[in-house]
Amino acid sequence: MLGLTKLQLLQHKPQLLKWIHLGGWGLSLLLLAIFVTWGVSLRGQWLDVLPFALSWIAAGSYFLLCRSQMGWISKLYFGGWFFYPAAIIVAFILDRIFFFLVALPIMAFVPANELYSGPDCTLRDALSIMGPRRVALLTPVGMLLEKQRGLIRAEEAPTEGTHSILDKIVTAKPLPADQPADTTDVLIGTGTGQYVVRFTH
C-alpha cells in the first residue's frame, strides 16, 4: 500500500484507486455469485482471490492518500480496509493470551484420564491444552508422592488392530534401567499380547 502511494499517477489521480477498489469488490461479488449459482470459478486458487486482493490494496492506498479530505464515513470505510490486517494480528494474539488465561485454571481442575494404576506405576493422560495426545508414566515415591518418569505420544505406541495398546492396558511394569538414562521402558500387557513401550523423560 505504501509503495502504491508513491506512484505519481496515483498521486495525481487518487480517484483511480477508488474505482479500482469498487471494481475489484464488484468483480469479487460477481465471481462469488457465479460460483454459488453454477459452481464455476476462475481456474487456479489465486485468480479467484486476485480481484479482492486488488480491491483491498487499492482501498488502503486510497485512505493513505486522501484521508485528510475524507468525511468521517469515508474514513471509517476506507480506514477499515487499511487497519484490518493490524486488527487481525491483534485479535489473533489476544485470542491466544485470553485462551490460556481462561483455560489454564479450568484445566487444573479437570481430572486426567487414568489408563492404568498399579503398585509399580501409573499411566495417565498428560495435561495438554494443545498438541497431540500424550501419556505420562508415573512411579510411586513413598506413600504420598509420585514421580513422572517419561512421556510418550499416543500415536507412537503399538496398536492392536485399529486401537492403541494404551487404551487396552491390563498390566504394566517398568523394566530395569538397561536403556539410555533419559528413557524408561515399560512392559505393557493387554490380555492378548505384551509390548515394550519406551517413555522419554
pLDDT tens readout for residues 89-129: 888 898 888 877 877 777 767 777 899 999 999 999 987 66
Count of beta carbons in the 10 Å neighbourhood of residue 77: 14
What average pLDDT is seen over the chain? 84
Q: Quick one: 95 and 121 in the same domain?
A: no
Distance CA(166)–CA(125), nearest Å, equals 10
**Burial (0-12, 13-18, 19+ Cβ within 10 Å), 91:** exposed
Q: What does the pLDDT read at residue 12? A: 62
Inform me whether the pLDDT recorded for 5 exceeds 50.
no
Beta bridge partners of 53: none
End-of-domain residue from the set 52, 72, 106:
106
- What are the start-end ranges of the H helices in 14-156? 15-38, 45-66, 72-108
State residue 180's pLDDT score.
65
How far is it, in rounded angstroms, from Cα 113 to Cα 72? 56
| Residues 40 and 79 grouped into a single domain | yes
Give the Å distances, CA to CA, from 120 to 116, 138, 139, 167: 10, 9, 6, 18
Instruction: Specify whether the backbone of 150 is left (phi greater than 0), alpha (psi in -120 to 50) or beta.
Output: left
Q: What is the DSSP letter of 176?
A: P
How big is the chain by its Cα radius of gyration, in Å? 30
Same domain, 124 and 99: no
59 and 136 co-located in one domain? no
CA distance 118 to 109: 23
Q: Please state the domain count of the chain.
A: 2
Angle at 189 between CA 187 and CA 190, to 5 degrees: 150
Average pLDDT for 67-80: 86
pLDDT band at 196 (very low <50, low <70, confident <90, very high): very high
Q: Would you state the pLDDT for residue 57?
A: 86
The parent domain of residue 156 ranges over 114-200
Q: What pTM was estimated for this model as a whole?
A: 0.51
Looking at residue 3, its pLDDT comes to 47
For the chain, percent of residues with pLDDT exceeding 90:
24
Do 140 and 76 reside in the same domain of the chain? no
Q: Note the pLDDT of residue 116.
A: 92
How many Å apart are CA 73 and CA 20, to the nearest integer?
19
Between 122 and 69, residue with greater pLDDT = 122
- Give the mean model confidence (pLDDT) for residues 24-41: 90
